[in-house]
A = this chain, B = another copy of it.
Amino acid sequence: MTVQKLQVGMAGLGRVGKLHAMNFLQKTPRAQLVAAFTPDPAEITWGRVNLEPHGVTLYTNYDEMLKHPGLQAVAIGTATSVHAEETIKAIEQDLHVLCEKPLSTDVEVCRAVVQAAKKKPHLKVMCGFSRRFDDSYRDAHAKMEQGLIGRPAIIRSQTCDKFDPSGFYVEYAAWSGGVFVDMSVHDIDLSLWFFGDEVLPKSISAHGITAVQPELKKYNDYDNAVGIVEFWNGKIAYYYCSRMMAAGQEDTTEIIGTEGKLTVNGNPQRNFVNLYHNGGITREIPHNFMGRFSPAFVQEANDFTAACLDNTPLPMKLSNAVKAVEIGSYLQEALVSGKQIHFDEIGRRIEKAQL
């Protein structure tokens, strides 16, 4: 008897694409990476060294990869601008899809993906929000479900990256959708997870600055921003995103309930080492999201694979991915316009003058 493995193709071999490719190749026992696509010559070269010897066929044309014999699923880690199109194409080819977040920075485009997926309910189509697969977030969610903090009412969540002096994030701002869509979308997704995805925003405020990269202003973006989302059912989530942390990546979440509070990563640490020296006690923290969330990406690949092979439910709804981008877009709009945004009780946007 031989074990059936999910035949996976990888689209995109950039930073996150490489991570996914290696996870499917080496750390997802029930999956087999059989194909990879990238239009980028440097990435193809990387693939020749790291993937081809393990039996992975390389493609420079996405449509051709989709026709790889026996292919069952595609993982998409290309540029955000092509996520939606590639996802829809894969769905049309009857392939399961794991797409990196976000589906698109455009809410309407996101919705088109959801529509396409709805037509093929036998397919597993997931937009990967890595924190949903993190042990600590899962433990916190389980503890909340057990009632350990009463009714959750306030979420504080931040996505804060170590400062990157290369200037990369300035040009990136041209198409990233802005900091709330690019960074806080993780925190918004967590809010939907912990508050329930049926929550409807009531009002949204946001403020931002360009503390270290004033050039961001040309793209209407910011390097530090704070936003508040008040929901109709008496809950509030507030977010901070920043690209200027000195010590490293600081993604922290608090879920505050009527009878207790859960914190995730309130005390960042890279590992279990502390150095006692003349100036005190120092511990290091991860320099980037991979230092914090690598195991979550592995879990994600395994959970997605299991859902495809066993036809079990995915751990998150595709529509949430749209809702997270939608709320992120509202926050970004509030940030750029300097205006609070309001919604009625069934989620329709209203002008304050109407109130």
Interface membership of A315, Cβ < 8 A: no
Q: Mark A227-239 against chain B: 1 for CB-CB distance below 8 A, else 0.
A: 0101000111010
- Chain B residues with CB under 8 A of A150: 246
Residue of B nearest to A280 (CB): B284
Complex CA gap A160/B149 in Å reads 16
User: Which of the residues B244, B248, B267 comes within 8 Å of A258, measured between beta carbons?
Assistant: B244
A212-271: which residues lie under 8 A (CB-CB) from chain B? Answer: 212, 224, 226, 228, 230, 234-236, 238, 240, 242, 244-248, 250, 256-271
Interface membership of A340, Cβ < 8 A: yes
Interface membership of A120, Cβ < 8 A: no
Residue of B nearest to A150 (CB): B246
Residue of B nearest to A142 (CB): B273
CB pair B234–A209 under 8 Å, yes or no, is yes
Q: Mark A269-304 against chain B: 1 for CB-CB distance below 8 A, else 0.
A: 111111111111111110000000000000000000
Minimum distance in angstroms from A140 CB to a CB of chain B: 5
CB pair A285–B281 under 8 Å, yes or no, is yes
Interface membership of A80, Cβ < 8 A: no
Minimum distance in angstroms from A289 CB to a CB of chain B: 14
Size range of the chain A interface in the assembly: 35 or more
- Chain B residues with CB under 8 A of A136: 271-273
Minimum distance in angstroms from A7 CB to a CB of chain B: 17
CB pair A261–B247 under 8 Å, yes or no, is yes
User: Which of the residues B1, B2, B262, B339 comes within 8 Å of A275, measured between beta carbons?
Assistant: B262
CB pair A154–B224 under 8 Å, yes or no, is yes
Minimum distance in angstroms from A324 CB to a CB of chain B: 19
Stretch of A24-32, A106-114, A179-187 that contacts chain B:
A24-32
Interface membership of A317, Cβ < 8 A: no
Interface membership of A89, Cβ < 8 A: no
CB pair A271–B352 under 8 Å, yes or no, is no
CB pair B246–A261 under 8 Å, yes or no, is yes
Interface membership of A135, Cβ < 8 A: yes
* Max chain B Cβ within 10 angstroms of own Cβ: one of A143, A224, A261, A271: A261
Q: Mark A51-95 against chain B: 1 for CB-CB distance below 8 A, else 0.
A: 011110000000000000000000000000000000000000000
Interface membership of A139, Cβ < 8 A: yes
CB pair A279–B282 under 8 Å, yes or no, is yes
CB pair A140–B224 under 8 Å, yes or no, is no
User: Which of the residues B205, B228, B278 comes within 8 Å of A246, measured between beta carbons?
Assistant: B278
CB pair A211–B228 under 8 Å, yes or no, is no
User: Which of the residues B27, B240, B262, B340 comes within 8 Å of A156, measured between beta carbons?
Assistant: B240
Minimum distance in angstroms from A45 CB to a CB of chain B: 16
Minimum distance in angstroms from A242 CB to a CB of chain B: 7
CB pair A273–B284 under 8 Å, yes or no, is no
Interface membership of A148, Cβ < 8 A: yes
- Chain B residues with CB under 8 A of A2: 53, 55
- Chain B residues with CB under 8 A of A228: 205-207, 226, 228
Known: A205-B228, A262-B274, A281-B285. 10 other contacts (CB 8 A): A135-B271, A151-B211, A209-B235, A245-B276, A246-B278, A247-B276, A260-B275, A266-B267, A280-B283, A338-B342
